[in-house]
């Protein structure tokens, strides 16, 4: 019989968010390969801790304000809207309300500034999403990413074949 492929045992990729130092780590085979500064939830809107599985990534997401007091003056934003706070991508770790996403407020990185999500520089969030897709069984070529990035009004949802584990610690 043929040997199972190296990926058959499950993804070797995992994400770890450390809320105390406000960093997101991409780990491959238990080694940190990438690290990013993130904004975390405000004390009144904490980022959840625990173990999660990333199963879905949405490129060019729309933004619909949640039915929460803090968002009552906000209005929905279409994909590609310059005022869409999600920017290019959102990576769900605890659907439907918690994800990693880009932010126009890169000055908030390293601070408690969100309503529970992890905010990143939009370019970094896209890099993490691409890495997660590749290791989650949904690789795409450079042309696909170019088309997604340049067709900002068209949402693309990617469901991972192999969910990627994510741990969030204090």
pLDDT tens string 121-131: 999 999 999 99
- Token pair of 144 as six digits: 């696909």
Give percent above pLDDT 90 in the chain: 82
pLDDT bracket for residue 4 (50, 70, 90) = very low
- Token pair of 95 as six digits: 């659907």
Q: What is the pTM of this model?
A: 0.91
Per-residue pLDDT, 149: 87
Q: How far apart are CA 144 and CA 138, in angstroms?
A: 12
What's the rounded mean pLDDT across residues 90-99? 95
CA-based nearest residue to 99, from 145, 56, 45: 56
Give percent above pLDDT 70 in the chain: 94
pLDDT bracket for residue 5 (50, 70, 90) = very low
Q: How far apart are CA 24 and CA 39, in angstroms?
A: 10
């Amino acid at each position: 019989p043929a040997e199972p492929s190296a990926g058959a045992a499950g993804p070797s990729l995992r994400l770890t968010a450390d809320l105390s130092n406000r960093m997101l780590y991409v780990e491959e085979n238990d080694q940190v390969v990438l690290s990013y500064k993130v904004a975390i939830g405000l004390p009144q809107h904490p980022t959840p801790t625990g173990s999660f599985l990333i199963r879905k990534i949405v490129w060019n997401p729309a933004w619909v304000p949640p039915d929460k007091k803090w968002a009552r003056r906000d209005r929905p934003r279409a994909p590609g809207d310059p005022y869409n706070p999600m920017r290019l991508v959102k990576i769900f770790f605890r659907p439907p309300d918690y994800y990693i996403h880009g932010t126009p407020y890169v000055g908030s990185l390293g601070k408690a500034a969100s309503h529970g999500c992890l905010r990143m520089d939009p370019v970094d969030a896209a890099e993490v999403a691409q890495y997660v897709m590749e290791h989650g069984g949904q690789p795409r070529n450079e042309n696909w990413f170019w088309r997604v990035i340049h067709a900002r009004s068209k949402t693309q949802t990617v469901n991972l074949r192999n969910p990627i584990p994510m741990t969030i610690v204090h």
